[in-house]
Structure 1
Amino acid sequence: MAELQNVDAWLAALLANLEPAARNRMMREVAQQLRRIQQKNIQRQRNPDGSVWEPRRMTARSKKGRIRRQMFAKMRTARYLKTTASADAASVEFASKVQRIARVHHYGLRDRVTRNGPEVRYPERRLLGVNNETEVNIRDILLRWFIG
């Protein structure tokens, strides 16, 4: 525990050396890199830990050979996957319009397919998360800012 306090103090000293505007730019860069990684995971249809999402259910309407769009193709765009950054924090979140849909799929909750349609339990598909690759990328960005 004492080691973590020492690391915290060391990082606080490094952050204090940067001006607030520089910290803001650094956090913006971190947030943008986080969004790129999350978009790549959604495009590959994988959880942050690398496991594959459960595929869509086959229905009577699905036809053999029919080309279907990838899941969450629009949700991964910058229009819906927003970044926020301040001098103290960086985050990636879904815009308010699609937050409900993202939450239902992320946690595997129940929701209605259409307004008056049947209620369905969706499989858990982790849309956002942190893995080793994410940590390494963020560490590289921070080191580049502190060294440079």
Structure 2
Amino acid sequence: MTNNLTALEDWTAPILNKLAPAERRNKLRQIGQQIRKQQQSRISNQQNPDGTPFAPRKGRIKRKMFTKLKQAKWMKVQAKDDIVTIGYTGRTAKIARVHQYGLTDKPSPKSRSIRYRKREVLGVNKKNAVQQTMLQHINLSE
């Protein structure tokens, strides 16, 4: 995934450098919001970035996972002069990180530690989706 993001950065940098700083921030924020919508849709469908389904829960719990994590209230988009970030903060970030990497955590202070299965809450599998989003926003501004 790092190679895809590096290639994407190399592809987008010259385009974004042609824009004024305020316009660049605005475009980056719009692109971040579009990517967030794609992530929210993928989480709603209970899929990892590569299209495989999330690892099932243990036990008899049938409701969907991450129903609150996909909300814009928790999944924040921040745009600065030359970078856009999409992610979580605080306790929400801890929950997302545990599932993202398949770490060990305690569901409550008095319970025993549990090893969670890896479920990629955030991630981009194809740079084409981001490129198309970027092209769409650039074409709208011309």
RMSD (CA atoms) = 2.4
Number of residue-to-residue matches in the alignment: 133
Distance change (3 Å), C-alpha of 1:138 and 1:71: same
1:146 Cα shift? 4.3
Residues 79-129 of structure 1: CA distance to partner in whole angstroms, max 9, x if unpaired? 110001122011100122311111111111111121110111000001111
Please give the per-residue CA displacement for 1:39-85, whole angstroms capped at 9, x wherever unaligned: 111111111011111111125xx6xxxxx431110111011100011
**Correspondence for 2:108 among 104, 109, 114:** 114
Look up the SS of the partner of 2:42 in the other structure. Answer: helix
- Residue 78 of structure 2 aligns with an amino acid whose one-letter code is T
Q: TM-score, normalised by structure 2?
A: 0.82
Aligned residue for 2:3? none
CA gap of 1:10–1:49, structure 2 versus 1, over 3 A, is closer
* Equivalent-residue separation in structure 1 for 2:131 and 2:65 (angstroms): 30
Tell me: CA distance 1:117–1:130, structure 2 relative to 1, closer, same or farther (3 Å).
Answer: same
Q: Distance in 2 between matches of 1:101 and 1:142?
A: 30
User: Against the structure 1 CA distance between its residues 141 and 95, is the aligned structure 2 distance closer, same or farther, given a 3 Å change threshold?
Assistant: same
Cα distance change, pair 11–121 in 1 and its aligned pair in 2 (3 A): closer
2:31–2:137 Cα contact (<8 Å) kept: no
> Do the aligned partners of residues 145 and 122 (structure 1) sit closer, same or farther apart at CA in structure 2, a change above 3 Å counting?
closer
Q: 1:65: which partner in 2?
A: none
Aligned to 1:104: 98
Please say if 1:141 is aligned against 2:133.
yes
Unmatched segments (≥5 aa) in structure 1? 63-67
Q: State the shift of 1:8 in Å.
A: 4.7
TM-score between the two structures when normalised by the length of structure 1: 0.79
